[in-house]
């Protein structure tokens, strides 16, 4: 070790101090890390600002369809190949339950996400050839799904074959930009195909805007008139089955070993 002579005699020389160099290198690393962090934040923010394409929404309601007679729900006969294929590619909620057993209460509840007690209020309406009939009115301040989407830039339409949904749910049709109930008087006579054609025509007219389309089918509702191609699919002749009249259905429901949806 080199010895230096100073005022107080000989003593060891102090080694060269490298601390400033170390501090400089540390500052550079911190600055570089900060720049990387800022770049990452800006990149994330830029991704968040890029608008994602809004999906179109097709809402299919099949009135009076028994869920326990669908293939994806475990039924043994091939009654629903198209729905089965759709369920295999998405999510199927097999334990969902309607909040009411009739259209007037069920539809507002379904489209608002509310229990019937807060989704509507009871009222009446005068109908041609029927006079005063029970009806419901969508509750004040209750927004249904189509109006919610409409405020966010969606084009909305309903194609309804159910005469009750068309006339006895007050404030329902006003939730849509376009409401088509032209088939409400033909609802049991194979109306699904015609309902589809009207809906597809509207969807084509929308163009690039996102859309919400609600279709309310009635083909499997009582009285049931299946198309000829399907009438004998699971029985030799459909005429072998009893006419599904209201008294017959009420008697069937009283049998302990049977359940009627």
| pLDDT over threshold 70, residue 101 | yes
What local confidence, expressed as pLDDT, does residue 226 receive?
79
| pLDDT over threshold 90, residue 135 | yes
pLDDT digits (tens, 9 = 90+) for 49-69: 566 789 999 999 999 998 889
pLDDT digits (tens, 9 = 90+) for 5-27: 444 455 455 555 444 444 444 55
Calculated CA dihedral for residues 145, 161, 65, 239, nearest 10 degrees? 180
Token representation of residue 35: 């720049």
pLDDT digits (tens, 9 = 90+) for 149-190: 999 999 999 999 999 999 999 999 999 999 999 998 876 677
What local confidence, expressed as pLDDT, does residue 208 receive?
87
| pLDDT over threshold 70, residue 78 | yes
Token representation of residue 216: 């309310």
β-pair type (9-12, 3-6)? antiparallel
- The length of the chain in residues reads 261
Query: In 10 A of CB 109, how many CB atoms?
Result: 19
CA distances from 203 to 21, 23, 253 (A): 70, 67, 41
What local confidence, expressed as pLDDT, does residue 75 receive?
92
Over residues 137-143, mean pLDDT: 92
Measured over the CA atoms of residue 113, residue 115, residue 120 and residue 126, the dihedral's sign is positive
Give dist(CA 107, CA 146) in Å, integer.
Answer: 12
pLDDT digits (tens, 9 = 90+) for 190-247: 789 999 999 999 999 998 889 999 999 998 888 777 777 787 788 776 666 666 666 6
Token representation of residue 190: 């194979």
Report the DSSP beta bridge partners of residue 58: 213
């Amino acid at each position: 070790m080199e010895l230096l002579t100073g005022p107080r005699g000989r003593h060891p020389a102090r080694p060269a101090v490298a601390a400033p160099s170390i501090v400089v290198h540390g500052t550079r690393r911190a600055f570089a890390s900060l720049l990387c962090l800022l770049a990452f934040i800006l990149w994330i923010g830029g991704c968040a600002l890029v608008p994602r394409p809004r999906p179109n929404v097709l809402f299919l309601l099949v009135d009076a369809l028994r869920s326990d007679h669908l293939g994806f729900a475990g039924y043994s006969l091939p009654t629903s190949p198209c729905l089965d294929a759709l369920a295999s590619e998405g999510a199927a909620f097999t334990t969902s339950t309607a909040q009411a057993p009739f259209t007037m209460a069920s539809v507002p509840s379904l489209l608002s996400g509310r229990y019937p007690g807060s989704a509507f209020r009871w009222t009446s309406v005068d109908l041609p050839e029927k006079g005063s009939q029970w009806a419901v009115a969508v509750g004040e301040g209750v927004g249904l799904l189509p109006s919610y989407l409409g405020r966010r830039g969606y084009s909305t339409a309903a194609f309804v074959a159910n005469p009750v949904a068309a006339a006895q749910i007050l404030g329902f049709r006003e939730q849509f930009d376009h409401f088509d109930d032209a088939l409400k008087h033909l609802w049991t006579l194979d109306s699904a195909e015609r309902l589809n054609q009207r809906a597809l025509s509207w969807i084509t007219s929308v163009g690039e805007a996102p859309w919400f389309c609600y279709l309310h089918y009635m083909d499997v509702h009582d009285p049931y008139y299946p198309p000829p191609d399907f009438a004998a699919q699971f029985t030799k002749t459909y005429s072998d089955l009893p006419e599904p009249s209201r008294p017959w259905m009420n008697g069937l429901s009283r049998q302990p070993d049977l359940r009627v949806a």
